[in-house]
Structure 1
Amino acid sequence: MVKNDVLRNMAKGQYTLLATLLKNATKKMYR
């Protein structure tokens, strides 16, 4: 149970990180 929560949180963190990276990349491209 705990392991699952940790894995889920890690996946969420990685997804948010990826989203921010993508946003920054698109911003740079449009500049």
Structure 2
Amino acid sequence: MKALSIRSDYAADIMNGTKTEEYRSWSTKY
């Protein structure tokens, strides 16, 4: 299972489709 954690203040924006990108300071293998 893969999971991402997001900041709670971005959760509503992601659910509404107004935030479509998330920038991370670390790399992932996927």
TM-score (norm 2): 0.29
Q: Which has the higher helix share?
A: 1
> TM-score, length-normalised on structure 1?
0.28
Q: Which protein shows a greater Rg?
A: 1
Structure number with higher relative contact order (C-alpha < 8 Å, ≥ 6 residues apart): 2
